[in-house]
């Protein structure tokens, strides 16, 4: 482990790592993320000036650790969040087409992190890793602090790639992965809000425009004969090389029965057993009916065996960090080096997000 705590001479802020008391479970990644904590009341203007002056050092921390957490500063609204992201030198995206997670915009380039129902955990993923072009930066702002649970787990994508069983790593590198999506025209009344309609995902209901958007990104699509479903497929490299560090990183979204049921097991001690069992039954039924909104396969369209998916999940979760949010926290991640997810939620909780600096990886 490198340096731990460092306080500036004016005691304005401290550079440190998360303390065990701030974690909700032990971690093998004690240096993710770097924490920069205010030493006392600091205004938005103070924070803007600070991140502008320290921009190079903060970016170096991103490359070294995978992310940093600004804690204890006066960030009180979505607009202030957007202001600091801009001061850090990032170029946030105004729109996020193709997104799998339901969410809505609350300010310029600021969205809810997800509108997925509270009981569902969200799988470990690197934002838009189902696309060849994805954001280099993703950030999260704790607008409303949850009373408990609702963590945003972080995953060291470098360590996960390095510790994968070599045979699985070789298969992923050689065969790539395919994401197969089914997007409805309208969400059924009985369906939970866990997927987007095609107008939500593409920002239009015009089929010709959707087909053009899909083709521009090297994807394929087809329409169901009844006109109510759009199917898309995209093949990506799940082990891209980071453009700055040269590290091989595990970037994927594990839309696989093994992983989803495993994550429901993660939150089972926090939920009513019958409710958790009903969620697992619903997932199993969707797979049995071949009705999952998104599925991950090998690049040739063949299934990824459960044992191999379980190994991917093991490597990911063994390099995870779970910490309790505090109001005003601003977490900035390198989206290639660090994945994220969401544990089950107990309201109230409101985490906002912004992403940008797009990078494209060849297949």
Instruction: Give 231-243 pLDDT, tens digit per residue.
Output: 999 999 999 999 9
Does any domain span residue 128?
no
* 352 and 281 housed in the same domain: no
Q: Is 107 a domain residue?
A: yes
The domain that holds 228 is classified in CATH as 3.60.130.10
Asked whether residue 153 is assigned to any structural domain, the reply reads no
Residue 27: give the domain boundaries.
6-115+136-143+323-360
**pLDDT recorded at residue 314:** 96
Note whether residue 150 is domain-resident: no
Same domain? For 205 and 271 the reply is yes
For residue 259, pLDDT over 70 is answered with yes
Do 188 and 231 belong to one domain? yes
Q: For residue 258, give every residue at least 6 positions away whose Cβ sits within 8 Å of its Cβ, in sequence order, or none.
A: 306, 309, 310, 313
Is 177 in the same domain as 96?
no
Asked if residue 252 is part of any domain, the answer here is: yes
In this prediction, residue 312 carries a pLDDT of: 97
Co-location of 270 and 293 in the same domain: yes
Q: How far is CA 48 from the centre of its chain?
A: 25
Number of domains into which the chain is organized? 2
**Same domain membership, residue 285 and residue 338:** no
List, in order, residues 6 or more apart from 58 with CB less than 8 Å away.
36, 51, 68, 88, 332
Q: Is 46 domain-assigned?
A: yes
Q: Say whether both 202 and 301 belong to one domain.
A: yes
The band of 2, judged by pLDDT with boundaries at 50, 70 and 90, is: very low
pLDDT in tens, 16-62: 999 999 999 999 999 999 999 998 878 899 999 999 999 999 999 99
CB neighbours (10 Å) of residue 274?
8
């Amino acid at each position: 482990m490198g340096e731990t705590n460092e306080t500036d001479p004016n005691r304005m802020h401290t550079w440190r790592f998360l303390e065990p008391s701030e974690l909700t479970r032990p971690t093998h990644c004690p240096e993710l993320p770097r924490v920069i904590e205010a030493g006392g009341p600091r205004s938005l203007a103070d924070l803007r000036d600070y991140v502008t002056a320290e921009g190079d050092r903060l970016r170096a921390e991103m490359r070294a650790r995978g992310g940093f957490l600004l804690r204890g500063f006066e960030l009180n609204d979505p607009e202030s969040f957007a202001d600091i992201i801009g001061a850090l030198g990032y170029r946030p995206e105004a729109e996020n087409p193709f997104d799998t997670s339901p969410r809505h915009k609350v300010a310029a380039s600021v969205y809810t992190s997800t509108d997925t129902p509270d009981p569902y955990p969200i799988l470990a993923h690197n934002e838009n890793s189902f696309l060849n072009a994805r954001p280099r930066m993703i950030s999260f702002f704790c607008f409303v602090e949850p009373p408990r649970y609702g963590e945003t787990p972080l995953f060291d994508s470098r360590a996960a790639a390095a510790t994968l069983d070599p045979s699985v790593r070789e298969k992923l590198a050689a065969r790539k992965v395919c994401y197969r999506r089914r997007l409805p025209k309208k969400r059924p009344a009985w369906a939970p809000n866990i997927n987007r309609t095609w107008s939500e995902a593409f920002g239009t209901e015009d089929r010709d425009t959707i087909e053009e958007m899909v083709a521009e990104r090297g994807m394929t699509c087809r329409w169901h004969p009844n006109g109510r479903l759009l199917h898309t497929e995209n093949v990506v490299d799940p082990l891209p090389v980071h453009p700055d560090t040269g590290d091989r990183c595990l970037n994927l979204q594990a839309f696989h029965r093994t992983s989803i049921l495993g994550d429901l097991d993660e939150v089972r001690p926090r939920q009513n057993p019958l409710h958790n069992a009903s969620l697992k039954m619903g997932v199993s039924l969707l797979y049995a009916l071949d009705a999952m909104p998104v599925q991950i396969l090998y690049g040739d369209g063949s299934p990824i065996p459960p044992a191999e998916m379980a190994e991917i999940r093991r490597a990911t979760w063994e390099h995870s960090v779970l910490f309790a949010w505090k109001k005003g926290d601003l977490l900035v991640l390198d989206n290639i080096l660090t994945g994220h997810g969401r544990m089950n939620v107990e309201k109230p909780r409101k985490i906002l997000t912004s992403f940008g600096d797009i990078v494209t990886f060849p297949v």
